[in-house]
Chain A
Amino acid sequence: MTSTPSDKVKSSVAELEDITMPSLGADMTEGTLTQWLVKEGDKVNSGDIIAVLETQKGAIDMEVYSSGTITEILVEPVIEVPVGTILARIALAEPSNKIVKSVVPAVDKVNETSVPVVETSPVNKQVNVLDVKISDVKASPIARRLAKEQQINLTGIIGNGPQGAILLNDLTPLLTDKKQLNSKKLKFAGTTEQNMRNAIAVAMTKSKQEIPHFYLSVEVDITSAQQWLQQQNQTSPPEDHVILLALLLKALANSLVKYPKLNGFYQKDISQSDLPQGDHFEQVSAIHIGNVISLRQGGLVVPAIHDVDKLSITELMQGLRDITERSRSGHLRSSELMDATVTVTNMGERGADSVFGIIYPPQVAILGFGKVRDIVKVVNDDMVIAQVLTLSLSADHRVIDGMLAAKFLNYLAKKLQKPECL
C-alpha cells in the first residue's frame, strides 16, 4: 500500500484536524447535516458514527476517521453545506496517520493540504463555514474549487457571504460556460431525485471526458458455478442462501490480488499546475468492491464491501444483504460510499446480456456482469448445453493496457470454474 500522508505541521500539543462534509463519491457536491451524535468534549474513536447526513444518496451515517476529542462543533443542524465545509474539529489522540484519507477520492483536496494547522485555530465561530483562509480572499470551499476549475481570479470580488466571503452564487454569473452554469443552477434548485440525476450526469460526463476508457469482454461458462449454488441452496435456510453475485465478487477479489493494477486510484496532482506529470496511479492493497445498487425511487448508490478477498462466501453474502438493506433504509456509512477501490455493475438480474460501465473516478476499472443465458457449446465434438454470462471490463488506458485487461478477465473466468475453491 502506498499511502502518502500529507505533510502537516507537527507540534507537541494535540494536533487539530478538521472534520469536513465528506464527498461520498465523485457525484456528490453538497450534503445536509441533520443531527450531531457527539458534543464538544466527547472522545471518539476512528470509525465511530458522529453525525447523520442527508445527501443525494439518502440518509448517511457519518463516521470520524481519527481518534481523539471533539474540540469544537462549528456547524449546527439542520444546514446544507458544500462538500469540504468544516463541520467540527478534533484534537487527535495520536499524530495524524491518515490511512483512510489516502484512499479517499481526491475530488476535494484543493484546500486541505495547504492549510497550516495553526491558522485554522478557531477565532470566529460565526463565519466558520467560510473561514478557510488561504490567501487574503475569503471564499467558500466550493467557490474556491470552481474558481480554480474555471480560472477565475477571486481577488477583488466581494461576495455575499459573511464579511464579504465569496459564495458559489457570486461566481456563477462569471462563468463563461453556459452549460456548466445551467447544470449548477439546476443542481441547487431541483428535488432530491433531480439532484441525484444531475449529480450522476455531472460525474459521469466528467469521467467520460477525462478517462480514456477501453472495453473488453469474455463469455464465461458458469455451468459448474450454477450447479454448485444449486447444491448449496437446495435445502439451506434463506439466511444461508448464496447468490451468483457473491461468487462473482469473490472471484473478482481473488483476481485483483493477482492483478493489482486494476485496483486503486488514478490521482490527479491538483496542487501543481495543469501539467499531467504529477498525475499517478496509486495501487491499493485493500480490495473494497463498490456495488451499484439501483434505488427503487430512481438513481443509484455504490456502497463498498470491504476486504472482499479476505471474506468467506458466507461473510460476503452477509455483506451484500446488509448493504442492500441499508441502501433502502438509509443507514449506509460514509466510509462505505467513499473508499471503493473498484466497482461492479450487475445488469444480469434486469435482463441485459452485457453492460459496459463508466468508470467511477478516481478508480480505474469497472466490471459488468450480464444475465445468465443457455447456449449450445461444442465439447469434444459433442454438443452440450451450457450456461454462460458475459463478463465485461471498462478500464482506464492511462493505467491499464489491453493485454493485461484480457489476462485479468480470463483469469477471473477461470476462477469461476472452481466455485468450491473460492
Chain B
Amino acid sequence: MLFNTGTFAIFFIIVFISYWLFLKNSVKWQNLFLLVASYVFYGWWDWRFLSLIFLSSLSDYLIALKIDAPIKPKSAKIWVTISIAINLIMLGFFKYYNFFVDSFIDLFALFDVELSKRSLNIILPVGISFYTFQTMSYTIDVYRKQLKATRDFVSFFAFVSFFPQLVAGPIERASNLLGQFYIKRQFDYEKSAIAMRQILWGLFQKVVVADNVGVVVNQIFDNYQQQSGFSLILGAMLFSFQIYGDFAGYSNIAVGVARLLGFQLMQNFQSPYFSQNITEIWRRWHISLSTWLRDYLYTPLAIKTRNWGSFGIAFSTMLTFLLCGLWHGAAWKFVIFGAFHGIALTYDIFTKKTRKKWRKQIHQKIYDPISILLTFSYWTFTLIIFRAQSAKDAFIYLKSIINKPLFTPDDLSLAGLKLTMVGIVVFFMAFDYMGRNKTFAIETTGKPWPNIGRFAFYAFLVFLIFLFFQTDGDAFIYFQF
C-alpha cells in the first residue's frame, strides 16, 4: 500500500476515525488497533511476509527479557549475539543470498573453476532492512543497559510494525518511539495542522518533484549512450533531486501520518544539499540510518581499534560505509558507492584542521558556496554509480560525460520538458533552503501571512500535485531496500 494512492487514503481515513472516535479512551485498545492496522498495511503487499516481522519481533521481545533478567554478563552477550544473528540471517537470506552465491561463482570463474548456478528465486520482503535494524537496536540498547526490556507485548509488536514508518523508515529507536505507546494520546488540533502541512510537503516532494524529474532521469539513464555530455550531467543532477524528493517525501508523509495519530517520529532529513562536506551530508541525509550506523557499527568498531591510531579511525569509517553501501542493495555498485563515501569521510576526518584554516584564509563567503557546490558534485557523481544498471554502466556513463560532445542537436528535442524540471527543482530547493533549520521545509511558511495568503499557498501546492500527478508514478525508490 503506497502513501500516494487512493487505497492508502481510504485505509488511513478508516484508521484515523476509528482511532480517535471509538478508541480514544483506551491506550491498550488503540495500540492493539494500530498493531492490527499495521499488519493489514503490510499484508496488503504480501501477507506471507508478515511471518518475518512476527518472528523478528517475537525473538527480540523474548531475548530482551532474557538479557534484562539477572544473568551473567557472558550469558547476556550470548543472547544479544543470538538476536543479531536471527535478524542478520533473515536479512542475509532474503536480501543477499543470490548476491553472495553469484559473487562466489564469479570469484571461482576467475580461476577457471566452473561452479553450477544455484541462485534462488527469492522475493525481497519490502522494508526488511528497515524493521530488522529497528528491532535489533532495541535488543542492543537493552544489552547496553540503556533501556529496560518491555513486558508489554502489544506495544512492542506495534512499535516494530508501526505502519507509518514500517517499510521505509525513519528507522526509529525504542528509546524514542516505544515509550510513546505507553502513554495516553490526545488529539491535538495544532499538531494535526502541522502534520497536514508536512504530508502536503511530502506529497509535493514525491508527486511533483520525484515522479516528474524521474521521467527525464529514466529517459537519460536508459539511453545514456545516445546522450550528449550536457544531458548526462543534467541527468545525474536531476537524479540527485529525484532521490531526495522521493525519500525525504516518504519520510515527511510518514512523520506527518504518525503525528496525526499522536506520535512524534525522528527527523530524517535536514536540507542535505546545503552541506559543506560529505560528513555533513550524512548528518542531514537519512539521519535515522546514519545515526544507527554510527551507534551500532562505527563507534563499537572505532572503540575496538582505538589503539591503531589514525588507521583504526580510517578502517572503522571505511568498513561502516562499505556496509552502508551494501545496506542499500545487494549489488557491487552499492558497495562501490559506499566506498566512495568512506573515502570522502576519511578525507574529511584527516583534513578537518586544514580546511578550517583554508576557510579563514579564503574568507567564508567564498569558501562556503564553493564547498557546497563541490560537495553536491561529489554526491551526484556517487549517485551515478547508485542509479546506473551496474557498476560497468556507471563507468561507461562517466566516461561518456568526457568523451561525448558537450551539446548535440538532440538536446533541443526535450528542451521544454527539461526546463520545466529545472524550474520545479529550483522551486523545491528555494523552500528547502528557507526552511533549512526547521523539521520540514514549509513548517512555518506563511505563518505571519494573513489566512488567505497562507491558504492560497497550500492550495497552490495542491494544484501543483494534481497538475503534475503521474498516473504511472514510480513506487518509492527506497522500498527496494
Q: Do A and B come from one complex?
A: no
Residues of B in contact with A (beta carbons under 8 Å apart):
none
